[in-house]
Amino acid sequence: MNIALATAFAALTLAGSAFADTRVVATLDAAQPARAALIAAHASWNCAGTTCVTQTAPDETFSVDGCKDVAKQFGHIVSYAGDLKSLDAKALERCNKSAAAPSPVGTASR
């Protein structure tokens, strides 16, 4: 019995990252023109307006690198927060260096 309990405890300890999933919300500087869903930063995101949310994000999603991956898809991020913490101003600055450039407006020429 003790061996079974020890084995179960070891398995749960090693699988700890699987239980570390959390919700992350990215607030964008500019609203999206339509609802969007994408995979970024190892998570599935749903975006509407200026808000992108992932309900089950692994730990690496909540990082500057995770933020950069979302910024590459949607542009400048105003805030990036998980259930228990948020990125500070310096981290957001590093994140936004990867932000997608605004789409250029095409002009017609003759």
In a domain, 42, yes or no: yes
> Could you tell me the pLDDT band of residue 79, with boundaries at 50, 70 and 90?
very high
Domain count, the chain: 1
- Residue 105 falls inside a structural domain: no
Query: Does 28 map to a domain?
Result: yes
Residue among 92, 97, 84, 89 nearest 64 (CA): 92
Of 7-11, 34-38, 60-64, 76-80, where does the model show the most confidence? 76-80
- Predicted TM-score (pTM) of this structure: 0.72
Answer whether residue 55 is part of any domain.
yes
User: Does some domain include residue 6?
Assistant: no
The pLDDT mean for the chain works out to 80
Question: Which is more confident, 45 or 7?
Answer: 45
Q: Which domain holds residue 35?
A: 17-96
Please classify residue 95 by burial: count the beta carbons closer than 10 Å to its beta carbon, then call 0-12 exposed, 13-18 middle and 19+ buried: buried
Amino acid at 37: A
Neighbours of 110 (CB within 10 A): 2
Asked whether residue 3 is assigned to any structural domain, the reply reads no
**Residue 77, phi then psi, degrees to nearest 5:** -110, 130
Q: Look at residue 5 and tell me if it is in a domain.
A: no
12-17-77 Cα angle (round to 5): 160
